[in-house]
A and B are shown apart, each in its own frame.
Chain A
Amino acid sequence: MPTVKDQKPKRKKRPEINPLLDKKVLTGSEVMIRSLIEEDVDFIFGYPGGVVIPVFDKIYNVSRPKLVLCRHEQGAQHMADGYARASGRPGVCLVTSGPAATNLVTGIATSYMDSIPVVHFTGQVATTAIGNDAFQEVDIIGITRPITKHSYLVRNVEDLAATIKEAFYIATTGRPGPVLIDMPKDVLLSECEFEYPEEADMPGYKPTRHGHVQQIKKAAEAMAGARRPVFYVGGGAVLSDCSQELTKIARKAKIPVTTTLLGLGAFPENDPLSLGMLGMHGTWYSNMAVNEADLVIAVGSRYDDRVTGKVDAFAAKAGHIHIDVDPASISKNIKVDYPIVGDCRSVLQKMLPMVKKSDTAEWLKLIGHWKESHPLKYDDDGTVIKPQYVIEKIHEVCGDDTVVVSDVGQHQMWTALHYNFVKPRTHITSGGLGTMGFGFPAAIGAALSGPKGKVVAIVGDGGFQMTCQEVATAVSQRLEVIVCILNNGFLGMVRQWQELFFGKRYSHTCLEYTNPDFVKLVEAYGAKGLRVTKREDVVPTLREAAGTRNMPVFIDFRTYRHENVFPMIPPGKMATDIIE
């Protein structure tokens, strides 16, 4: 049944090969670049150094893939990650050995936790020197083993092309994830005949794509019989691009939908069936719906502790259907009644014709009542700039197609709660690892992937300073990203925990007196910097930023400093312990 598009993105047309690379015998460096051309890679995010100088030398002549020079390897990794999240195509990263390779580690772990396809190329000392503590030698394969889907040390140049083929296949299929290829210096310099394999065939890697029809049928029957069903949708739904199918099924069966942080956008939040985000900082009604549900239909989600809180108490009255491409995600934390292993999109496509309208009128009435009695809200007396207000205005000014990339902290949760995402792949954030410093470089990657709409990064004053050297990258690429710094002069999220759980002892969370002047900072790089201290300037300044061409704009929003993120289920507690 040819229903599902291949997970591998379709190739437009055979890319042109630079004449300098169009020969039979190539060096390892040339093999690498030719292979990337075969994979239709348009950008490499990288940084040069010792052992990869030969590769950089070859890239010098090539217009595609284009090398984007970052200012720190962590930045390059987050850019490749953001590129992949926004476009669905694999991101590519190239750095040298030793410290450059270790600088990737935080980023690789970020991609691994959120199942993002990124292929990393690291230089390595010559095969003869490996193990001798040579200059800039580090066992990057060993260091990254727990945070990659797979990795390769290439010992012979003859293996390089096939390894790259496998790496892209592994990164983009099944449950996607980061792959690393370590390339010793002598491999990059020696020569071989170039031949790019048509297919990657690995005896131990055969991801299941199509769910078991009988299981899907049983699940559809359970859905029809449920009185209080709820969809619980995670990042896997976004990765498999199943929004259309999901939306059709939810509307046909009249089943409400809640999403995780990474699932935002998979179901339009302006639909009456949407409950918004669930979990620690989820809406009151989504957490209550899951708590009272008799059937939870998990799609590409993984029962993460930020979602479940106390696991035994999570959806305790419900049966569970779990659709996921990774069998290991199913019944990991909670015993599932209807496990379905397969690509979410393929499974939902098969399920769609089997779905009947469930008898959920009572249930939806109850939820409607909850939405009225416990709405998502924040106090706003109109005198200060509330961060939630800024986020609502960003949506108003920039529109539904805008890709919003958040960093980690309070602003991330406010973005998730108050932005109202309606399209898939318009919300990007580091969910699983919660990596501060991710947002801004990921936005650069997202912008380079050529999305339909604008790209806006929403970051905190703390997290922005972790990777702000990439302003130089954004300027050099003349990217029109808008970076909204929600500047509260605090490591806000930590300050909130200190306020609530540590007797208001604000130990080392106040940044106000040592923060740089962000406007001057970005101006020093040649970017445009704007500051907003009055509420009435929020919208005009956003408009100005949206109208600025050929350069990034950074807006320093001085937001109300003591705002907290609510609702909140304290860690390890259950839905009914929610603080509003």
Chain B
Amino acid sequence: MRHTISLLVENKFGVLARISNLFSGKGYNLDSICVGETETPELSRMTIMTSGDDMVIEQIIKQLNRLINVIKVTDLTFDEHVNRELALIKLSCTASMRNSIIQIVEIFQAKIVDISPRTLTIEVTGGHKKVEACINMLQPFGIREIARTGTTALKREYSGSSPDWSAARASA
């Protein structure tokens, strides 16, 4: 099963190498890894998408925790969390095709971020499945290149029955 694991790590030399080494050395799956600074410049957050049975996932979490520069490991899979991925999709596109493409772009609340007489580049964000669906819908038009970020995620803060929760959901 697919798991979303969030890591808080020290922003130090070689941290990313240690983590990717762990996955390759122990033969764990690493579907995507997404890294960026946090509110504190000394710390980075990494979001790792991985898969495996319960015993493997338990080992992955324990092994990540063993790394000296890793401060906190959270498996977000079974917690309510927001996750987002961004993809840039460059299509072959002549003037005659533009309208049909724009329709799809609107449905996915995506954006056109670059245009030329022969191409169109679309930016789409959302959960992994939404991005996947958008790419699938654009496939028939002729995709030239794709760049994807991998998933990044944060835990949701509502506790289920609180009165603010529906508002939070609506704006999310």
Which A positions have Cβ atoms within 8 angstroms of B? 141-142, 145-146, 149-151, 153, 155, 170, 202-205, 326-328, 331-332, 335
Interface of B, helix, strand, loop or mixed by DSSP: helix
Q: List 24 A-B contacts (CB under 8 A).
A: A141-B14, A145-B14, A145-B17, A145-B18, A145-B21, A146-B21, A146-B25, A149-B68, A153-B14, A170-B68, A202-B68, A204-B10, A204-B67, A204-B69, A204-B70, A204-B71, A205-B68, A326-B66, A327-B62, A328-B59, A328-B62, A328-B63, A331-B55, A331-B58
**Residue-wise interface mask of B (57-91) relative to A, using a CB-CB cutoff of 8 A (1 in contact, 0 not):** 01100110111111100000000000000000000
Report A303 CB to chain B, min CB distance, Å: 13
Q: Which residues of B contact A327 (CB under 8 A)?
A: 62, 65
B residues less than 8 Å from A203 (CB atoms): 10, 71
Question: Max chain A CB contacts within 10 Å: which of B17, B62, B63, B66?
Answer: B66
Whole-angstrom CA separation of A141 from B18 in the bound complex: 10
Closest to A152 in B: B13
Residues in A with CB closer than 8 Å to B67 are 204
Find chain B residues with CB under 8 A from A204 CB: 9-10, 67-71
CA gap between A146 and B13 in the complex, in Å: 16
Contacting residue for A335 out of B55, B62, B66, CB 8 A: B55
Do the beta carbons of B68 and A150 come within 8 Å of each other?
Answer: yes
CB distance from B96 to the nearest CB of A (A): 51
Taking CB as reference atom, which chain B residue is nearest A150? B68
A332's partner among B18, B59, B71 (CB-CB below 8 A) is B59
Which residues of A have CB within 8 Å of B13? 153, 155
- Is the pair A328, B68 in contact by a Cβ cutoff of 8 Å? no
Residue of A nearest to B9 (CB): A204
Q: Which residues of B contact A (CB under 8 A)?
A: 9-10, 13-14, 17-18, 21, 25, 55, 58-59, 62-63, 65-71
Cα A141 to Cα B12 in complex, Å, equals 14
Please state if A142 and B17 are interface contacts (CB–CB under 8 Å). Answer: yes
Closest to A204 in B: B71
8 smallest beta-carbon distances between A and B, as pairs: A328-B62, A204-B71, A150-B68, A146-B25, A205-B68, A203-B71, A327-B62, A204-B70
Chain B residues, CB < 8 A from A328: 59, 62-63, 65-66
Chain A hits for B10, CB < 8 A: 203-204
Q: How far is the CB of A284 from chain B (nearest CB, A)?
A: 31
Which of B55, B62, B65 has the most chain A CB atoms inside 10 A of its CB?
B62
Least CB distance, A302 to chain B, in whole angstroms = 13
**A327 to B65, alpha carbons, bound, how many Å?**
9
What residues of chain A lie closer than 8 Å to B66, measured between beta carbons?
Answer: 326, 328
In the complex, what's the smallest C-beta–C-beta distance from B28 to chain A, in angstroms?
A: 13
Q: Which residues of B are found within 8 Å of A142, using beta-carbon distances?
A: 17
Chain A residues, CB < 8 A from B58: 331
- Measured between beta carbons, the chain B residues less than 8 angstroms from A153 are 13-14
> What are the residues of chain B within 8 A of A202 when measuring CB–CB?
68
A205 contacts across to B, CB distance below 8 A: 68
Cα–Cα distance between A492 and B55 once the two chains are bound (Å) = 38
| CB-based nearest A residue for B25 | A146
Tell me, in angstroms, the Cα distance from A122 to B68 when the chains sit together. Answer: 20
| Distance of A234 from chain B, by nearest CB (Å) | 18
**Residues in A neighbouring B63, C-beta threshold 8 A:** 328
Bound: A370/B169 CA distance, A: 67
User: Which residue in chain B gives the minimum CB-CB distance to A151?
Assistant: B14
State the Cβ distance, A286 to closest chain B Cβ, in Å.
27
| Nearest A residue to B67, CB-CB | A204
Cα-based distance from A326 to B55 in the complex (angstroms): 16
Report the minimal beta-carbon distance from A233 to chain B, rounded to whole angstroms: 22
Most buried by A among B21, B63, B68: B68
Knowing that A153-B14, A203-B71, A328-B62 are A-B contacts, what are 4 other residue pairs whose CB atoms are under 8 Å apart, sorted by A's residue number? A170-B68, A326-B66, A327-B62, A327-B65
Q: B75 to chain A: closest CB distance in Å?
A: 14
Question: What is the CB-to-nearest-CB distance from B60 to chain A, in angstroms, rounded to a whole number?
Answer: 10
Q: How far does the Cβ of B23 sit from chain A's closest Cβ, in whole Å?
A: 11
CA of A355 to CA of B14 in the docked complex: distance in angstroms?
46
In the complex the two chains form, what is the Cα distance from A326 to B17 in whole Å?
22
